Structure 1
Amino acid sequence: MGYFRKSAPWGDLTIDQVAFIPYGEDPVLIHITTLGNRGLRPLTVSYVEYWDVLVSPVLPGRGERSRMLRGLRVQRTTRYCAERRLLLCCPAGSYPGPGASDSGRDPDPPTIFLAAIDGLPVAGYETSRSVFFGEGGLDAPDALQAPFLACNSFREPTRADRIVLTLQREVTIPPRYQVALAHLYGCASWDAARRDASRSTTPLGLVERYSSRPPQAWFQQSLESWRESIIRLHAPDDPWLAREVAWASYYGQALTSYSAATGEAFFDQGGSRTYALGLPCSARDSCRHGLALLPNSPAQVRSTVRHLARLSSANGARSPGHRLLPWNSAQREPADQHLWLLWLIAEYALWYRDRAFVDQELPRLPRIPQGSRTVREQVHHSLDLVQHAMAGHGLLHLMQELGDRILSRHRRRGDDLRLRADAASVATGALAGVVLPRVAELYRWLGEGARAQATEQFAARVRLALSQAWNGRWFGQPAAERGHANRLQPPFLECQPWVLLAGAASEAQRVIVLHDIREQLPLGAGGDGALDAWDPVPFAERAPLVCALAQTDPLAAWETLKSCTLASHTEAHPERWYGIWSGPHSLAGVVRRRARAGTAKLVTDFPIADAHSATHLLYAARQLVDLQADARGYRLRLRLPFEAFGFEAARVGVRWEPHRVAGYIVPQGNDSAEIRVEYGRPFAGQPRVLVNGRRSAARLSADGGEVSFSVFLRGGQRTDWEIVAEPEE
Structure 2
Amino acid sequence: MSAFGHWTTAEGLPAFSYRAGPRPWNPIIDPPTTRHVVHLGNRRITLVADSDGRTGVWDEHLGCRWLAERTGVGRFGELATDAAPVKLFGPTFCRTTVADAEVELRRTVLCPEGEVPWVLVGIEVTNRGDEVVRRALSEEWEVRPRLVDLEFGPARDTAVPDPPVVVLEECGGDRVATTAGVLRVEVALEVPPGATRTTWFRFGLDIVDQIDPSALHSASLTALRTRLPAADVARAPEAAIEIPWHTALLTGAACTDGVLGGHTLDQGSAYSFRHGFNGAARDPLQHALPLVHLEPDLALSVLRNTCAWGSPDGDLPYALDGRKQPWTQLFRPSDSNLWALWLAAEYAAATGDLEAFTRPAPYHPAHRTDPVPLREHLRRQFRFFTDVIGLGENGHVRILNADWNDLAVKESGVDRDLMVERGESVLNSAMAAWVLPLYAGLAADLDDEDTAQEARQLAADLRRRVAGEWNGRWFRRAHAPGGHPVGENDLWLEVQPWAILCGAATDEQARALLATIDETCRAGSPLGARHRWPGDGQVWFAVTMTLVWAASRYDQDLAWDEWRRMTLHAHTAAYPDIWSGTLSGPDCYLPPGSDRPGETWALPGNGVAMQAYPVANLHSHSQPLLAYLRLRGIDPSRTEVT
Tell me the TM-score normalized by structure 1.
Answer: 0.64
CA displacement, residues 199-236 of structure 1 (integer Å, 9 cap, x when unaligned): xxxx3xx633xx2x311222222222222233322212
Tell me, in whole angstroms, the C-alpha distance in 2 between the residues paired with 1:591 and 1:469: 30
Match of 1:22 among 112, 120, 123: 112
> Map of 1:392-403 to 2, 5 A cutoff?
392=392, 393-403=394-404
* 1:117-175 alpha-carbon deviations (Å, 9 max, x no partner): 723244xx464xxxxxxxxxxxxxxxxxxxxxxxxxxxxxxxx7xx2262545557586
SS in 2 for 1:348: helix
Mapped to 2, the partners of 1:330 and 1:445 lie a distance apart of 37
SS at match of 2:562: helix
Partner of 2:620: 613
Residue in 2 aligned with 1:476? 476
Shift of 1:430: 1.1
Q: Which one-letter code corresponds to 2:292 in the other structure? A: L
Q: CA deviation at 1:290?
A: 1.0
Counterpart contact for 2:471–2:488, Cα < 8 Å: no
Match of 1:546 in 2: 548
| Displacement after TM superposition at 1:622 (Å) | 0.9
- Identity over aligned pairs, percent: 23
Amino acid at match of 2:552: A
Structure 1 residues 448 and 32: alpha-carbon distance in aligned structure 2, compared to 1, 3 A threshold:
same
SS in 2 for 1:616: helix
Q: 1: CA distance between counterparts of 2:478 and 2:327?
A: 24
Structure 2 matches for 1:459-470, cutoff 5 A? 459-470=459-470
Q: How far off its partner does 1:437 sit?
A: 1.4
Contact kept in structure 1, 2:541 and 2:588, CA below 8 Å: yes
2:440–2:452: 8 Å Cα contact kept in structure 1?
yes
When residues 166 and 243 of structure 1 are mapped into structure 2, their CA distance, relative to the original with a 3 A threshold, is closer
Conserved 8 A contact 2:362-2:372: yes
User: Of residues 107, 115, 122 in structure 2, which corresponds to 1:32?
Assistant: 122
Q: Alpha carbons of 1:246 and 1:528: their partners in 2 closer, same or farther (altered >3 Å)?
A: same
Cα offsets for 1:428-481 (capped at 9, x unmatched): 111111111111122233344443333222221221232233344433265335
Which runs of no fewer than 5 residues in structure 2 stay unpaired?
1-90
Determine the structure 1 residue equivalent to 2:363. 364
Taking structure 1 as reference, are residues 36 and 74 closer, same or farther at Cα in structure 2, changes over 3 Å only? farther
Q: Is the 8 A contact 1:444 1:452 kept in 2?
A: yes
C-alpha displacement of 1:253: 2.5
Opposite residue 143 of structure 2, the aligned amino acid is D
Alignment check: 8 A CA contact 2:403 2:425 kept = no
CA contact (8 A) 1:430 1:499 kept: yes
Q: 1:473 to 1:184 in 2, by over 3 A?
A: same
> Where in structure 2 are the equivalents of 1:589-668 lying within 5 Å?
592-594=594-596, 602-604=609-611, 606=613, 608-628=615-635, 635-638=639-642
Question: Which residue does 1:74 correspond to in 2?
Answer: 160
CA drift of 1:335 comes to 3.0
Give the aligned partner of residue 5 of structure 1: 95
359-368 vs 526-535, which deviates more?
Answer: 526-535
1:232 to 214, 230, 233: 230
Matched residue, 1:214: 212
- The match for 1:715 is none
- The alpha carbon displacement at 1:603 in A equals 4.7
Q: Which amino acid aligns with 2:107?
A: Q
Give me the whole-angstrom Cα distance separating, in 2, the residues matched to 1:321 and 1:612: 16
More off after superposition, 614-623 vs 18-27: 18-27
- Name the structure 2 match of 1:50: 141
Relative to structure 1, the CA distance from residue 580 to residue 409 in structure 2 (aligned partners, 3 Å threshold; closer, same or farther) is farther
| Counterparts of 1:293 and 1:272, CA distance in 2 | 23
Helix, strand or coil at the partner of 1:335: coil
The aligned runs of 1:225-374 (5 Å cut-off) are 225-318=223-316, 322=320, 329=328, 333-374=332-373
Secondary structure (helix, strand or coil) at the match of 1:19 reads strand
Q: CA deviation at 1:495?
A: 0.7
Partner of residue 203, structure 2: 185
State the Cα distance separating 1:383 from its structure 2 match: 1.0
Structure 1 pair 277–242 and aligned structure 2 pair: CA distance change class (3 A): same
Tell me, yes or no, if the aligned pair for 1:28 and 1:184 is still in contact at 8 Å: yes
Residue in 2 that maps onto 1:155: none
In 2 relative to 1, CA 228–66 (structure 1 residues): closer, same or farther, beyond 3 Å? Answer: farther
Shift of 1:52: 0.9
- Equivalents in 2 of 1:323, 1:598: separation in Å? 23
Aligned positions of 1:433-512 closer than 5 A: 433-476=433-476, 478-481=478-481, 489-512=489-512
SS in 2 for 1:313: coil
1:726 matched residue in structure 2: none
> What letter corresponds to residue 564 of structure 1 in structure 2?
M
Measured at CA, do residues 3 and 617 of structure 1 come closer, stay the same or move farther in structure 2, by a change above 3 Å?
same
Q: How many residues are matched?
A: 539
Instruction: Tell me the CA shift for residue 344 of structure 1.
Output: 0.9
1:75 and 1:532 map into 2 onto residues whose CA distance is 49
1:484 Cα deviation (Å)?
Answer: 8.6
**Alpha-carbon deviation of 1:398?**
1.1
- Counterpart CA distance in 2 for 1:538 and 1:408 is 18
Q: Deviations over 1:404-426 (max 9, x none)?
A: 45525528x99877417431111
| 2:166 paired with 1:166 | no
Aligned-pair distance for 1:623?
0.8
Q: Matched residue of 1:232: which SS?
A: coil
The code of the aligned residue for 1:184 comes to R
Unaligned 5+ segments in structure 1 are: 77-90, 92-110, 128-159, 188-202, 639-729
CA contact under 8 A between 1:361 and 1:372: conserved in structure 2? yes
Alignment of 1:406-425 (within 5 A): 407-408=408-409, 410=411, 418-419=418-419, 421-425=421-425
